[in-house]
Structure 1
Amino acid sequence: MHQGLTSAQVAERVAKGSVNTTARRSSRTFGQILRANLLTRFNAIIAVLCGLILVFGQPVDALFGSVIVVNSAVGVIQELRAKRTLDRLTLLTEAPVRVLRDGREVSIRPGEVVVDDLVLLGPGEKVPVDGAVREADGVEIDESLLTGEADPVEKRRGDKVQSGTFVAAGSCLLAATGVGEKAYAARLAAEASRFELTDSELMTAINRLLRLVTWIIVPIGGLLVVRLFTSGASVSDAVVGSVAGVVPMIPEGLVLMTSVAFAVGVIRLGRRRCLVQELPAVEVLARVDTLCIDKTGTLTEPGMALREVRPYDGVSPGVARAALAALARAEAKPNQTMRAIGDSLSADGWHAAETVPFSSARKFSGASFPEHGTWLVGAPDVLLPDDDPARREAQDLAATGRRVLALVRSATLASRDRRTAALVVLEQRIRADAPDMIRYFAAQGVDVKVISGDDPAAVGAIARQVGIPSADAPADARSLPQEPDALADAVAGHTVFGRATPQRKREFVAALHARGRTVAMTGDGVNDALALKDSDLGVAMGSGSPATRAVAQVVLLGDNFTALPHVLAEGRRVLANIEHVANLFLTKTVYAALLALLVGIAQVPFPFLPRHITLVGTLTIGVPGFFLALAPNSGRARPGFVPRVLRFAVPAGAVAASMTFAAYAVARSNTASSLRADRSTATLTLFLVAFAALVVIARPYTRWRLGLLAVMAGCFAAVAVLPGTRQVADLTFPEPRDTLAGLGLAVLGAAVLVVLLRLDRWLTRVG
């Protein structure tokens, strides 16, 4: 009898550092967060430009530099909040490890395992350390996460087992040999729970836009600087004008708003007890168009109840029940089905000499009892021949939505000579909220496919009751073609599948990918781990196997299927809002670049001071962009992020630049007007056209959105009218003719913008 380590031996190993701890974190450190938000390319550019203004201009014109403080503070605060949420929820999902110490079984955290610990492992449990098998009871290790091989490998005494694998069937006692940084588990777990913005399609698209902006800023900014310095203006005026022209070209808040939107998405989902283990998963949520779910635990309530045992072939009810109870007791770690049987029945005097544990690939388990023979229990279509009347009866029962197992007697565990002993009927309850969830996904354009290891008829019956389309024609996964194209057609043509093995589920995900689908896969059992790993978005139940939780991007801690609509909605909210914000920031970049180009060509003073640009940018982009980035939004994700943003930003920016420069030219033609008044006219026109773009972006209009627009317009009016703020902003409107011209051109610009955007939508539909 193994005793395991003593407390003194454990303390000795802890003192030596032979513990299963690593330096990994579920999120970035405070220092990393601070550096990532402060040390950015755009912060560096703005800091240099701000320094130039402080040297050559007035301090009030350096207000745009406050964006560094505001952006960095908001980014740091939001990511720290998300970090706390992630760290707390990650701790909740950490599966305990069972070890033998001082002669008894205890549960400890994975980080507390030490070298030479004896680790107890059962079906669905992840191997936390490298080790050697001391005792094996039909144990099969799934090494697919390391090797890519789908078939479980049987392990015997003395065999090596690597961390990062998991137990597919049976149980074993493992002596820990490699812990901490020396084990594979640390790297695997780090990949499953890292908090980062990398590998994001959206961030890749935004970076493409930023590279494009950089190529625009350099030549146009250079042209502006050269023209201003050669125009005869003073050095101070040339520097201030150059800074005023370059600053608005920089979309400094775009990356910030994107990271904030992601972080807030993590926090909101965390409040619903949804752990987002990879930050880009928030984006993938929005792109999902196919949701693959299991029947048990999603459409039905967790667990089940034994309804009846129907004996066959002269087997007495008492013997059948005793055999079932003994089989349930022989399982080292029974699944829900065997637990339901074991909780309802009892057997005395039955002692298993040899066992075959249940696995999803076999779909049955069995045991040999010296005084009672060999018994197997599992899927009727696996254990019973086609012409067996019990098999036909099992199919009829399964068609009503019940779960049916066959109990058979066999010569040996491996023998095909079997006799039907009984049918076991279990009751499953449909989740009350499942029909509403299915209707929600249908309304959102998400195809739902039910993929289960149960009998196709039983799966179809449950699917019909919750409203799954085409559930009347469930497919048997075993009968579907192996050839990839043919399988893709078959998967696309059905919505309900039964008798799906773990490898078959994985093939279904590949088939859906071949048809260009973005796939989310839910699961809780060890048999779901492979498919979750290959899907675009793996969603695991909190009470599911540790292996499943390790490879999933989202974990539903409350095992609550009703959280899935919130998960989908959060992803779509983030993606749609970021597109709105990108429209605003890129519009500013376009009109700033065009104005700089026009000024360089016309060789006139720049129409704005930096404070004017700060005022317009804050009221039409900065403040409203922040609120719009976090607003409710149910818009569906669509491909073509970059072209769509450019189709809005280029015409909007072009209209703003042309109307602003025209108003500036009209004001300059008035010999009675001053440069200060001309700049005020240009500022008024730019604000109104940019505000018109904001009005378009803010749709659909709600009370708070209209309130936001009113506040922004009111703030500009207050700055332009009140003597104190008007002086600080350096605005003056002494010439009614120029002011009316500016207003008229702004109205014309707004009308042209609306026409151009409607024309674009019409061309898009026609195309």
Structure 2
Amino acid sequence: MSDLPRETQLHSPSTSSLGLSLNSSSDSQPYADADPSILDINAVETALHTSVTNGLRSEEARARLEKYGRNELAGKPAVPAWKRFLVQFQDPLVYLLLVATIISFVAWVIERSTNPSGAEPLPFDCIVIVVILIVNAVLGFIQENRAEAAVEALSQMTAPHTTVLRDGRAVTINTAEVVPGDILILGEGDTVSADGRLLSAASLRVAEASLTGESLPVAKKTGTLESTKSLGDRTNMVFNGTAITQGTGRAIVTSTGMKTQVGKIADMLSQTKEDSTPLEREMDNVSKILGIAVVIIAAVVLAALWLLEGFHSIDDVIESLLLAVSLAVAAVPEGLATILTVVLALGVQRMAKHNAIVKKLSSVETLGSASVICSDKTGTLTRNEMTVETLITASGEVKVTGTGYVPVGVLVGLEGEEIETSSPIRREVVTALVAGSIANNGELRDEGEIIGDPTEVSLLVAARKVHAMDDYQSIERVAEIPFTSERKMQTVIARDKADADSLTAFAKGAPDILLEHCSYILVGDHVRAMTQGDRQDILAHVERLSNQAYRTLGQAYAPLHVARMQDIDGVRVDVSGRVEDIAEQADAIEHDYIWAGMVGIIDPPRTEVRDSIAEAHRAGIRTIMITGDHPLTAARIAADLGIIDEQQGDTRESVYGLERAENITGRALTALTGDELDAMSDDEFNAAVRHVSVYARVAPEHKMRIVKALQSHGNIVAMTGDGVNDAPAVKSADIGVAMGITGTEVTKQSAKMILADDNFSTIVEAVKEGRIIFENIRKFLRYLLSSNVGEVFTVFFGVVLAGVLGIKDPSSTGVTVPLLATQLLWINLLTDAAPALAMGVDGQTDDVMNRAPRKMSDRVIDAAMWCDIAFIGIIMAAVTLIGIDLYLPGGLFTDISAVNVNGASHDEQMVMARTMGFTILVFAQLFNALASRSATQSAFKNLFSNVWLWGAIALSVVLQLAVIYIPALNTAFGTTPLHPHQWFEALGLAALVLALSEVYKCVARLVVKRHR
């Protein structure tokens, strides 16, 4: 077996599986009310019947989950189904209909008491209104249940996960399945999923503000406390809901769910109502406007009738009240709120199928308005399949074949020749990969599954390809000084179990940083002092590889002999292999390292991202790369993807003066670094942010500052992130986007959207889907409101012009409405729900990505849309009233002296006329459904692309035929069968809505074209 130069042989420990069971007969969790912080690790381990080295067995974990329940806080009690059903009636517009129903019932009672022979045997108007309201409530109840189920399914997709030790292996499980006795594996960015006693801690710091109010992260140690202390001082404990901000550690779970510290205070938390979204507020506003408008119109009409004709009898009062009922029914889009919720839920489901998991329905509004996407590079713009491709040591440069995480490849020279085993450069490469594999927290499993940072895993893959670890299997890690964004390097202390006194420090990190800790360099089998020339050569290689878009990592090592270790306070290695936190001793350990070499790691751009960035640019969305990588690496990837122009020069000096910054409008800089940002004033920073599209070597505070600056310019910013340091910027952005694969739990909780595939293209697709959803909402709002306005205008003008249109019998007094309240309510039920829902799932009719992003200040229903609604409403009312007029003597199109050959009375003629108007209005609204699919494009473009809409139209037609031709429904709805020629007249008049809508759109397109 070969040896590392100046290093003792290392080997790995063997472990045995322990089969322990929990013998407690109590259902209360162990330590739920006690304080494990005052017990040593062995006592806690024994009491919980677990193993700190192997964790729980899977069978035991399942048994404990059954015994102690899921690791969840108690939620709000379920609302009974009957209460959720009654909620369907809690709407101002429904209240208006219920009042109208009561008025109609009172009118029937009065009419029956004053004129028993002339009154209806049953209050059909009231019955039909109540039945339709109940049917609508049932539909709403069913649809909202489905929407809730969809949201619940999404919440399961975004459920937090935790890494624990089970059966001797690290596994990732749903946080709700964590049980007492589990061994938590904690890392930077994780959210602690349960209360636990620390087993190990390396530079571990935990943000406990959510529990204790402590503003700064708390440093954690494993030592046993002498007495019970307050939660903020229990430094050997971690608590549910807190966040790991730095370092790594392991802990035994002592309490889960409501038995945790946060669970004990959960009942004291007040339930706050979630704020309504801008869209919901606008819908509430529309409902109020409609309600107020109906009341005003009804009051004006009733006042006019009273002044012009007067109320001469109780019948006049009854008829006037029924008019108010008709206006109320005509104005109310009863299912508006339910349809909106369902459309949003279905849209979010579609997004989830494309790997964009939106946590809240309200976020869909914001998605369609995004004007800037700030994205990390690694894993989002690139494949996140980090591959060690090139290695440089003292003897030269070699390549490793193969890509991704499959450890298949060989070591070859620059000309492709395979490197021999005896070659000195191979010895150097093996030593470098050994150092990189030991100073490593990643894990590569046989099936290609990776655990940890992809960059770290790439070193493990490269080591397997060249069999670097074959001679170094007997190793044991005993301590770690973790990588942090400030240190940019990691050191792991390992030992040979056969020689506990011989320790070796292995390190990896940014080459320029690691070089500062190196005094020697490995050349073949020998070690010599590092010269200034060596340092310059290494830095030159770093620069060259960075220009080629490689990520560089250096590897080094140093023997830590017994004499040296005695001088390092804090390193206490016992037989169990545990050591105290040595991060504070980094200066004493990390010096006189031996430089072994460095690797060039490539993360190839995703092939589909370039097209997605081009699509985003076409949609008026700016793409910005913010990365911690080298600026030249960032610029190269950005150029490859089309974020910046590859041919442009470096114009960074232009941003340091505001006047000069004006001259680079529209040009992105090569890259700005965090140091350069720090050197800028606020004005210079704001000027640079307007044009710079690539930022490299940035810190968390830079990301936050960039987001704030972009927002101050009026942008709607989407910000991606994965690490805990990204969480503040992600939370501050208008659309925080977390990585679903590599993202930490802290970032996922801060985000509004999670990418299940960590792919930038998914963001662009989500923005597109968000725009389509918003456009579909505008479609069905245009359709619903124009249809209801048409009904209101029909009733209003039908009453005001009753004498002109022949609606009113000249020999009678009082009010005659053109359509009955039950007919209007049937129209709403028939033509509102199904077609509106179908439009809510409509595909893209307009090119939504060929327009500028919508401003959040823009109204959902703008002035142009209100004009469209009014135009269609007027046309709809006109064709309906014309159809009624055609079948009544004394109207505009008939002569008052005309003789009815069948001897029909005016009431009988009125039934036929209403049936015609009723049918025309139904089909006018169905034609309107086709016209409303786009505000500008012809309805005949992609006419048959929405099969759901055609299905809804077919269903509406069948039900309308039933109302006209089934005798029982004739009585309930005041209809009579139509003859074939009457259908031609009805459909011809109804089709005018579509025809005139096409003319209106054509004129609108010409106006827009002329103004361009």
Q: Cα distance, 1:575 vs. partner?
A: 0.9
Contact 1:281–1:553 (Cα < 8 Å) also in 2 = yes
- Classify 1:599/1:79 alpha carbon distance in 2 versus 1 (closer, same or farther; 3 Å): closer
Correspondence for 2:698: 500
- Classify 1:440/1:197 alpha carbon distance in 2 versus 1 (closer, same or farther; 3 Å): farther
259-268 vs 685-694, which deviates more? 685-694
- Classify 1:705/1:37 alpha carbon distance in 2 versus 1 (closer, same or farther; 3 Å): farther
Name the aligned partner's letter for residue 730 of structure 1: T
Equivalent in 839, 845, 863 of residue 628 of structure 1: 839
What pairs with 1:226-237 in structure 2 (closer than 5 Å)? 227=305, 230=311, 232=313, 233=315, 237=319
Correspondence for 2:91: 40
C-alpha distance in 1, partners of 2:334/2:862? 20
Q: Cα distance, 1:711 vs. partner?
A: 5.3
* Residue 445 of structure 1 pairs with residue 620 of structure 2: yes
What SS class does the counterpart of residue 298 from structure 1 fall into? Answer: coil
* Residue 378 of structure 1 pairs with residue 526 of structure 2: no
Q: Cα distance, 1:300 vs. partner?
A: 2.2
40-49 vs 665-674, which deviates more? 665-674
CA displacement 1:44-93 (0-9 Å, x = unmatched):
44345446556736537854555434543443334433443443454454
519-528 vs 744-753, which deviates more? 744-753
Equivalent in 167, 172, 175 of residue 249 of structure 2: 172
Correspondence for 2:546: 398
CA displacement 1:89-127 (0-9 Å, x = unmatched):
544544444557999988765335567866331233211
Correspondence for 2:943: 703
Correspondence for 2:23: 8
Correspondence for 2:715: 517
Contact 2:388–2:459 (Cα < 8 Å) also in 1 = yes
Contact 2:372–2:717 (Cα < 8 Å) also in 1 = yes
- Unmatched tracts of structure 1, length 5 or more: none
Name the aligned partner's letter for residue 522 of structure 1: T
Correspondence for 2:896: 671
Q: Cα distance, 1:597 vs. partner?
A: 5.3
CA displacement 1:215-257 (0-9 Å, x = unmatched):
2233333455675893644565444433222101112122122
CA displacement 1:361-408 (0-9 Å, x = unmatched):
433222456867755422345555898442232122122122112335
C-alpha distance in 2, partners of 1:550/1:10? 37
* Residue 537 of structure 1 pairs with residue 662 of structure 2: no
* Residue 21 of structure 1 pairs with residue 72 of structure 2: yes
Equivalent in 784, 788, 801 of residue 585 of structure 1: 784
Give identity over the alignment, percent: 23
Equivalent in 637, 642, 656 of residue 861 of structure 2: 642
- Unmatched tracts of structure 2, length 5 or more: 1-14, 33-67, 109-119, 223-233, 397-423, 443-451, 464-468, 495-500, 517-531, 561-584, 649-669, 802-813, 899-905
Contact 1:196–1:278 (Cα < 8 Å) also in 2 = no
* Residue 213 of structure 1 pairs with residue 290 of structure 2: yes
73-82 vs 700-709, which deviates more? 700-709
* Residue 322 of structure 1 pairs with residue 431 of structure 2: yes
- Classify 1:570/1:24 alpha carbon distance in 2 versus 1 (closer, same or farther; 3 Å): farther
What SS class does the counterpart of residue 576 from structure 1 fall into? Answer: helix
* Residue 555 of structure 1 pairs with residue 754 of structure 2: yes
C-alpha distance in 1, partners of 2:736/2:77? 18
* Residue 610 of structure 1 pairs with residue 610 of structure 2: no
Name the aligned partner's letter for residue 324 of structure 2: S
Correspondence for 2:609: 434
- Classify 1:474/1:94 alpha carbon distance in 2 versus 1 (closer, same or farther; 3 Å): same
CA displacement 1:551-598 (0-9 Å, x = unmatched):
333333355555444423332222111111111222244345555555
C-alpha distance in 2, partners of 1:692/1:304? 56
* Residue 730 of structure 1 pairs with residue 928 of structure 2: no
Equivalent in 255, 268, 285 of residue 350 of structure 2: 268
CA displacement 1:311-369 (0-9 Å, x = unmatched):
24999864674355345434455522122213433346776665321223433222456
C-alpha distance in 2, partners of 1:289/1:298? 18
Name the aligned partner's letter for residue 446 of structure 1: I
- Classify 1:245/1:564 alpha carbon distance in 2 versus 1 (closer, same or farther; 3 Å): same
C-alpha distance in 2, partners of 1:114/1:717? 59
Q: Cα distance, 1:37 vs. partner?
A: 3.6
- Classify 1:41/1:705 alpha carbon distance in 2 versus 1 (closer, same or farther; 3 Å): farther
- Classify 1:9/1:87 alpha carbon distance in 2 versus 1 (closer, same or farther; 3 Å): farther
C-alpha distance in 2, partners of 1:435/1:37? 47
C-alpha distance in 2, partners of 1:165/1:70? 48
* Residue 77 of structure 1 pairs with residue 116 of structure 2: no
C-alpha distance in 2, partners of 1:372/1:116? 32
What SS class does the counterpart of residue 392 from structure 2 fall into? Answer: strand
Q: Cα distance, 1:426 vs. partner?
A: 1.5
Correspondence for 2:674: 477
- Classify 1:185/1:379 alpha carbon distance in 2 versus 1 (closer, same or farther; 3 Å): farther
C-alpha distance in 1, partners of 2:212/2:711? 22
C-alpha distance in 1, partners of 2:261/2:703? 26
What pairs with 1:328-339 in structure 2 (closer than 5 Å)? 328-332=437-441, 334-339=452-457
Equivalent in 355, 363, 375 of residue 293 of structure 1: 375
CA displacement 1:165-195 (0-9 Å, x = unmatched):
33243212346577534768779999xxx99
Contact 2:372–2:715 (Cα < 8 Å) also in 1 = yes
Q: Cα distance, 1:632 vs. partner?
A: 0.8
- Classify 1:379/1:458 alpha carbon distance in 2 versus 1 (closer, same or farther; 3 Å): same
Contact 2:101–2:130 (Cα < 8 Å) also in 1 = yes
C-alpha distance in 2, partners of 1:188/1:530? 26
Contact 1:5–1:117 (Cα < 8 Å) also in 2 = no
What pairs with 1:28-427 in structure 2 (closer than 5 Å)? 34-50=85-101, 53=104, 56=108, 59=124, 63=128, 65-98=130-163, 109-113=174-178, 119-130=184-195, 133=198, 135-142=200-207, 154-157=219-222, 158-159=234-235, 161-174=238-251, 179-181=256-258, 198-224=275-301, 227=305, 230=311, 232=313, 233=315, 237-312=319-394, 318=427, 321-322=430-431, 324-326=433-435, 328-332=437-441, 334-345=452-463, 346=469, 347=472, 354-367=479-492, 376-380=507-511, 382-383=513-514, 388-407=536-555, 413-414=586-587, 421-427=596-602
C-alpha distance in 2, partners of 1:150/1:490? 33
Q: Cα distance, 1:489 vs. partner?
A: 3.2
What SS class does the counterpart of residue 296 from structure 1 fall into? Answer: coil
427-436 vs 101-110, which deviates more? 101-110
Q: Cα distance, 1:42 vs. partner?
A: 3.2
Q: Cα distance, 1:430 vs. partner?
A: 3.0
- Classify 1:627/1:616 alpha carbon distance in 2 versus 1 (closer, same or farther; 3 Å): same
- Classify 1:153/1:384 alpha carbon distance in 2 versus 1 (closer, same or farther; 3 Å): farther
Q: Cα distance, 1:278 vs. partner?
A: 1.5
Name the aligned partner's letter for residue 671 of structure 1: I
Contact 1:542–1:559 (Cα < 8 Å) also in 2 = yes
Contact 1:4–1:102 (Cα < 8 Å) also in 2 = no
What SS class does the counterpart of residue 480 from structure 1 fall into? Answer: helix
Q: Cα distance, 1:259 vs. partner?
A: 0.8
C-alpha distance in 2, partners of 1:608/1:493? 61
Please identify which structure carries the higher helix content.
1
C-alpha distance in 1, partners of 2:342/2:373? 27
C-alpha distance in 2, partners of 1:399/1:150? 41
C-alpha distance in 1, partners of 2:256/2:644? 49
C-alpha distance in 2, partners of 1:253/1:373? 71
Contact 2:435–2:557 (Cα < 8 Å) also in 1 = no
Contact 2:927–2:990 (Cα < 8 Å) also in 1 = no
256-265 vs 546-555, which deviates more? 546-555
Q: Looking at CA atoms only, which structure, 1 or 2, has the larger radius of gyration? A: 2
Name the aligned partner's letter for residue 502 of structure 1: P
Provide TM-score, normalisation by structure 2. 0.64
Contact 1:363–1:382 (Cα < 8 Å) also in 2 = yes
